[in-house]
Amino acid sequence: MSTEAEEKIKAQEKYREMSIAEFFAKNKELAGFSNPTRALYQTIRELVENSLDATDTHNILPEIRISLKELEPATEDKPAKYEVAVEDNGIGVPPNEIANAFGKVLYSSKYVIRQTRGMYGLGIKAAILYSQMTTGQPVFIVSSMDSSENIYYRKLLIDIKKNEPIIIEEGQLIKKNNWHGTKVYLTLEGDWTRAKPKVIEYIKRIALISPYAEIIFETPDNEIFYFPRVTKKIPKPPSEAKPHPHGIDIEQLKSMISFTKTKTLLEFMTEEFQSIGEVTAKKFLESIGLDPNMNPKSLIEKGNSKLLQTLSAGLRTYKGFRPPRSEYLSPIGEELIEVGLKRLFNPEWVKAITRQAKAYEGHPFIVEAGIAYGGNIIPSEEPVLLRYANKIPLLYEEREDVSYKVVSSINWKIYNIEEPMPLVVLVHVASTKIPYKGVGKESLSEVSELESEIKNAVQEIARSLRLYISKKNSEHILREKIVTISKYIPEIARSLSILSIHPDKWGSNGKNIDKDLIEKLIKIVSKSVEFPKIDGKEEDPEKVVRSVIANVKLEQ
């Protein structure tokens, strides 16, 4: 969900006094639940992303099991009914939080900026609501924290009018092993046949970007997709950050003021925002003409909206703040991107890059890109583009995406890449606020800072690729040269052996090929060729020469 959608939701709540859950239920397309196909895909996605957030973000190597079972086949007027079960080995949910975490929309304990896959777990509640609306079945949650001696389970529905969980069944079991994590069972209507390609593509892409995870997916067709863990390296989890003043809008500002425990505006500035010290805060407040000692709460009182607007505008435009800090971001890292691309495409060449952090409108972001070339990649007219935002694969609206704009405008010929090209381009954007284009969160806007970063990243790798290809080409030319010359070695040695017998010594035994001549010719040809170093390695010319004339019968 984008902030835009959230605001819409909040606005609706305000004006029509409709519960947020009710609004959700009536506008399910906003959360990606527009039809049975999309709903199935979206449900699996929300559960998997929740599971990843519960594991890798907490330095746990994820083990995620997804199972999809058909409970009732489709009829003429009803789609088929499925049970989705997703289990992880994550941190688990505290027992007293389970009901609210899964049964109350917009339930969140604190307001912080952090790079997470989803936002405030909204998506999972949408999935539960969709399940409830299409099948009437409760969601079943089993969870245990590492420290807990019990395993807790809850069966619950959401009271749509009140936006509150209705607990149908709850209980706990004594934990006999050291399992921790969460398993969620959902029953919903869906269309597996139609959703299948996207779901599988999604799982593959998740596996690509999280090569440190073990992922098992059982389909209703009794197929099993198994992605073993290929590395134990986990990216540094994102830490929570205070917001940067440039990235705060008036609604968020109001919300922050209402939550804050600070007593003065000066204190509010230094406590609630990142990188603002007393000196900067004083200078800033002075520049917009606000009293550092005033109570921040007074700004949200009626009649003070002018002052609030002054503060809001000042926060967004004041030049004296330090740039947003990027250590709160968690890029995947070059190594993991390369490992992931290698695993999925077995390419001839792969390279990834993590760019330095940049910022747009006060939001730090990091662009990462990877290119895989050749090998098992099926050549096509344009590169295969894999888009990720905060480690989530984006599968829809490709042509709307800023990455598509960048990648499709690159003239690959100047990088020695000919059509059709066996090329995969991966772009990952990590940010505390991803600039999604629409409510569907499937494509990124053409923010100029972002666009130029993506371009720089892709072009930087493309330049390495060009170097590789040109070395490869020159290596290939040299190899062909060796073949062209070496194939005549036996014939030349044979002819010269005959010519080196003096007429007086001409005998029946004298016409054997001189093996020394062959060896000398092999040496001469080998010495004449020097292969370029590719990735620090170079081919041994003599090996190539010998392979050309290997198994060639030398005797006449």
Of the candidates 22, 41, 19, 23, the one whose C-alpha atom is nearest the C-alpha of residue 32 is 41
DSSP 502: -
Residue 472 interacting with another protein (CB under 8 A): no
Query: Sheet harboring 224-227: ordered strands across?
Result: 164-174, 150-159, 139-144, 181-190, 80-88, 63-72, 214-218, 224-227
- Residue 503 as a binder of another protein (CB under 8 A): the answer is yes
Smallest distance, another protein to C-beta of residue 483, A = 6
Contact by Cβ (8 Å): 25, 129: yes
- C-alpha 428: how far from chain center: 6
Report the amino acid identity of residue 388. Answer: Y
Cα 320 to Cα 103, 281, 284, 363, 364, distances in angstroms: 43, 9, 7, 16, 17
Yes or no: say if 7 and 119 are a contact pair by the CB < 8 Å rule: no
Q: Does 513 bind another protein (CB under 8 A)?
A: no
For position 509 contacting another protein by CB under 8 A, the verdict is no
From 274-282, 410-418, 454-462, 524-532, give the range in contact with another protein by CB under 8 A.
524-532
Q: How many residues bind to another protein according to rule CB under 8 A?
A: 38
Separation CA 299–CA 146 (nearest Å)? 44
Q: Which one among 343, 498, 531, 532 touches another protein, defined by CB under 8 A?
A: 498
- For 515-547, the three-class secondary structure string (H helix, E strand, C coil) is HHHHHHHHHHHHHCCCCCCECCECCCHHHHHHH
Q: Rank residues 413 and 520 by Cβ distance to another protein and give the closer one.
A: 520
Collapsed DSSP state (helix, strand, coil) of residue 4 = helix
Query: Considering only residues 492, 512, 538, 543, which one is a binding residue for another protein as defined by CB under 8 A?
Result: 492
Q: Which of 317, 470, 506, 538 binds another protein (CB under 8 A)?
A: 506
Q: Are strands 358-360 and 150-159 parallel, antiparallel or unpaired?
A: unpaired
Query: Long-range CB contacts (< 8 A, 24+ apart) of 153-157?
Result: 154/98, 154/99, 154/102, 156/99, 156/102, 156/103, 157/103, 157/132
534 lies in the site for another protein, by CB under 8 A:
no
Q: Is 545 in the site for another protein (CB under 8 A)?
A: no
Give the tokens for residue 67: 């199972």
Q: Are strands 214-218 and 181-190 parallel, antiparallel or unpaired?
A: unpaired
**Given 59, 298, 448, 547, the residue binding another protein (CB under 8 A):** 547
Residue 168 binds to another protein (criterion: CB under 8 A): no
Identify residue 71 by its one-letter amino acid code.
Answer: L
Question: Is residue 540 near another protein by the rule CB under 8 A?
Answer: no
Asked if residue 520 binds another protein (CB under 8 A), the reply is yes
491 contributes a contact to another protein by CB under 8 A: yes
Near another protein by CB under 8 A, which window of 91-99, 142-150, 186-194, 501-509? 501-509
Strand, helix or coil for residue 244: coil
Among 483, 534, 539, 542, binds another protein (CB under 8 A): 483
Closer residue to another protein in complex, CB, 78/543:
543
Query: Which C-beta is closer to another protein: that of 461 or that of 478?
Result: 478
Closest distance of CB 427 from another protein, Å? 35
Quote the least distance from Cβ 482 to another protein, whole Å: 9
Write down the least CB distance from residue 526 to another protein, Å. Answer: 10
From 29, 169, 286, 480, residue interacting with another protein (rule: CB under 8 A) = 480
How far apart CA 153 and CA 99 sit, in angstroms, is: 10
Candidates 293, 470, 474, 484; binder of another protein (CB under 8 A) is 484
Residue 170 or 514: the one with the smaller Cβ distance to another protein is 514
Site for another protein contains 7 (CB under 8 A): no
Backbone dihedral region for residue 506 (phi beyond 0: left; psi -120 to 50: alpha; all else: beta) = beta
CB closer to another protein out of 325 and 481: 481
Question: Which residue of 495, 530, 538, 540 would you call a contact of another protein, by CB under 8 A?
Answer: 495
Q: Which is nearer to another protein, 165 or 541 (CB)?
A: 541
Q: Which spans of this chain sit near another protein (rule: CB under 8 A)?
A: 476, 479-481, 483-488, 490-492, 494-496, 498-500, 502-503, 506, 516-517, 520-521, 523-525, 527-528, 547-553
